[in-house]
Structure 1
Amino acid sequence: MAPVGELAKAALANEWTSPDSSATVLLAVAIDVLTPACLEWEPETIREQLKAQLGVTVAQREMDRFLALRAALVSDMAYQNVLVFHHTMNALNGSRIIFSAWDPVDLDELTWGLYELMLNDKPESDEDWASRFSADVRRYVGVIANDGRYAPGSLPAVVRAVADFGPEVSGAAEFADDPMIYGDAHGRSVDEAVDANNYANARLKATLHALQTLPLANRSPAWPPPGDEAPANAVP
């Protein structure tokens, strides 16, 4: 790590103690401070080195967030295994990974979790994106986004490209002829999609702001991009 001033060190350390820091920012700080070799280190080694370099005591919540993203970059388990995918979505949204407990993932968390995976490993197309996921994971995404079946066009694009709602259940659409009931379902679907998009966009904006302003010692000459270009370049 290149020597940094105390204020710069404090700014980097703060990201590793904040519940609002995205896994992307934690990953960037870790690589900047510890070198890319940290992608292969044991969690305790990372804790010890961050303590030595930044004086920060890393909580399990932040470590889970970092490890979830790191694992998704070096393995396809988050895309292929439903349980791993579930815990990855939770961790990327700031929840502890507790394998003995079931913490439901909602549409907001699903949307940001998928965006963050895409942000760090951008697909070439919607087809490339969807092909990363197993049939079981795609079906699970469809279960989380189930209300979206009443207004599929309103679902966040990153979810819509992956979700499999399964076969049409006999009688499930009978109320489509009832304007009041169907209108309620459609309106709820649209509102939930808007909330999910707003949540993910706010987290994306905060992530890009942190990456642009943190005193990182090692940057690509092309980074940061102009502020008005970053979101479009980061997430299609």
Structure 2
Amino acid sequence: MTGETASPVVLFDLDDTLMAHREAVATGILRHMRERAYEGDERAAAGRWHELEEEHYTAYLEGALSFEGQRRARAAAFAREFGDELDERAASAWFAEYFRHYRDSWALHDDVLPALDALATALPRVRLGIVTNGELEFQTAKIVRLALHGRVEHVIASGELGIAKPDPGIFHEALDRFARTGPVSAAAYVGDRLRTDAIGAARAGLVGVWLNRHGVRPPDDEAAEAIDVGVVEIHRLDELAARLVPRLG
């Protein structure tokens, strides 16, 4: 590869960065509630389902639950609050029914495709990839369904590596894969979680970009750390190209 021109690499988180995951989750659980004839405050129920996802998916990432196990645990805990007791088999079936509604609601955020086009224009040699905390097969299915597979060169998932963001190893593995087919001049990572995505990437030597879609104010210690490692904050992906050109161009 001697003499090849080096290219910038921009890596993205998937859920809630490119894909409107939280919206799909809320739509999916509300449709499933109606199908199961669960009665109650739907807004509160959607919030509770999100809390259970955070709790049990974190347990999966930490190795305390299997991927299927965290699904069953979420289903059983949620159903129990409506007086519906589920054993393991019933919990798996319950989650499969919910998942059908969730999958049917998968969609990109409306700023994704224009942002990718703007990056390609502003940085003509840019190469794109996805680094995600999850199972490779599951996350790849989303990428294909959302028609992103033709735009990204590599998808790196924590499930295949046994390490998850913010561990620097997952970011380094991503860059190693790009480097095997051409030199990398500089790299950035874009994600919706400040510590897991942006600070983690910055600690690994990339430009860390925090996509703060909802204007969240982080805890003081995280805000100070973000400043210390040079995290770039944006509120929509429309802002990305202009913020990255001075750093990657």
Establish whether TM, by shorter chain, passes 0.5. no
Considering Cα pairs closer than 8 Å and 6+ residues apart, tell me whether 1 or 2 has the greater RCO: 2
Q: Which is richer in strand?
A: 2
Query: Normalising by structure 1, what TM-score?
Result: 0.29
